[in-house]
A and B are shown apart, each in its own frame.
Chain A
């Protein structure tokens, strides 16, 4: 069980999140949606202590995350990386073992074997010698998911994993997430649009500078909540009938 307690994050003059608390169930995929600037990535980074927070703590089974970082695998947004860096696919995936190894220890044969098997699971084994700049966006994302596999953490957090990637990569990543769910992991996905919300997620958090709604998708993904977080127009487009039948395939961007 992963939970965030009383998280407050702000930059200079703007308060982004104020005293936010939320829980993420294990054995489920939880989606986080919200308009641009809603504080989705901020919530994750604040919880993980990757950006300065004014208050709050994230806990893994009651223990603060700072002392149990090996419990969480974090797959950040791809956009922030230097793709010209002299590193190949295999070495990126192998770095998933670094947290467990700690200082002064080199990856073992077993770690290397794990990296190869993770690459196989995301169908990227043939690319293991490639420099990362040679990959497409979807292939690169699969490589980072493979790294998360190597981390073998019970909690996996992915920030916009499906943004700008091809259908094949998206479905391969989704099948990995489902495997993790079957293993009882806690999976948290920051999602950039409203496509496939009901297909992909078991639980949903709608965010807009604070929690608009949180809970099982069927209860949370309603015209009311979407209208409140995004706009009334979007709510009307997505939910044509009063009884909340959904129209798929509409992105809010």
Chain B
């Protein structure tokens, strides 16, 4: 209890902690929203791939001294296009194409980063260090967050229908390919923001764990999006507290908090909880 008071006290005192808190909240909202569509479209592996594939972009941006977002977005999109290219121009299955492309990009990024920067920085990129977020990073995150929320709100009905029933969406003339690549761009933007809080390796957890948890509680997409964002924000803030108090890396702290929410929901959620469905089955008469 004392440590929570300390944390709140420190929040009032230290600028870096306030920056960390706002960043965590924004990243939570973004990843919760985008992650919902990622899991509903069966693209969890794609989310993992894109988040790893931005690493060389981060390295190149460091080297050239340009904004991380630009480098990361370029490599994220190139990876998405390359995955599409490999799977349509060979008999390989999509997940194989994803595996090949993202591991290659990640390996390349790893080498580029170690050429460009010291190892401490690599550690932060891989596992996140939300306590070291600068004010200019925060401004970027605010802008990206606004863009991501705008994308989801403006294209909500298109995202809904193309995720649920792509054939129908195409039959009435929706350009689902454009939407797909739009979502990939948004995904890379979220990735770069989440890189600061949870790091590249664990970004996929922020995308899928809160969304999957929300999925277990509701049958309404709008409610799922909101719930996913809320869970993601809570996990981020609790993770930040744990990180500050126990000096744990922020990424694993946030991700483990989200995992605990998932485990609880998996057991007790009314929709498809492990426990609830067993009880429901017992209650049914034997047929």
Contact = CB atoms under 8 A, between A and B. Distances in A.
Contacts of B173: 69-70, 99
A98 B167 contact: no
Contact of B224 (A48, A86, A106): A86
B154 interface: yes
A89 B108 CA distance: 47
A50 B167 contact: yes
**Of A69, A86, A99, most B-chain CB atoms within 10 Å:** A86
B157 interface: yes
A131 B221 CA distance: 11
Interface in A154-213: none
B171 A87 contact: no
Contact of B167 (A72, A80, A106): A80
Contact of A86 (B42, B157, B215): B215
Q: Could you say which interface size class chain B belongs to?
A: 20 to 34
Nearest to B156: A106
Given A86-B224, A98-B157, A103-B158, A69 B167 contact: no
Interface of A: 48-50, 69-70, 72, 74, 76, 80-82, 85-88, 91-92, 95, 98-99, 101, 103-104, 106-107, 131, 147, 151
A137 B164 CA distance: 17
B170 A50 contact: yes
Interface SS of chain B? helix
B112 interface: no
A69 B171 contact: yes
A69 B218 contact: no
Contact of A69 (B158, B161, B164, B172): B172
Nearest to A159: B167
Contacts of A101: 157
Given A76-B165, A87-B220, 6 more contacts: A49-B170, A70-B172, A86-B40, A95-B161, A101-B157, A103-B158
A70 B171 CA distance: 9
Contact of A98 (B161, B219, B220, B223): B161
B168 interface: yes
Contacts of A151: 172
A74 B157 contact: no
B160 interface: yes
A24 to B, nearest CB: 16
Nearest to B215: A86
18 contacts: A74-B167, A74-B171, A76-B168, A80-B167, A81-B165, A85-B163, A86-B219, A86-B223, A87-B160, A87-B219, A88-B219, A88-B220, A91-B160, A91-B221, A99-B172, A99-B173, A99-B174, A101-B157
B167 A76 contact: yes
Contact of B221 (A82, A86, A104): A86
Nearest to A133: B219
A147 B168 CA distance: 10
Interface string B14-51: 00000000000000000000000000101000000000
A95 to B, nearest CB: 5
Contacts of B160: 87, 91, 95
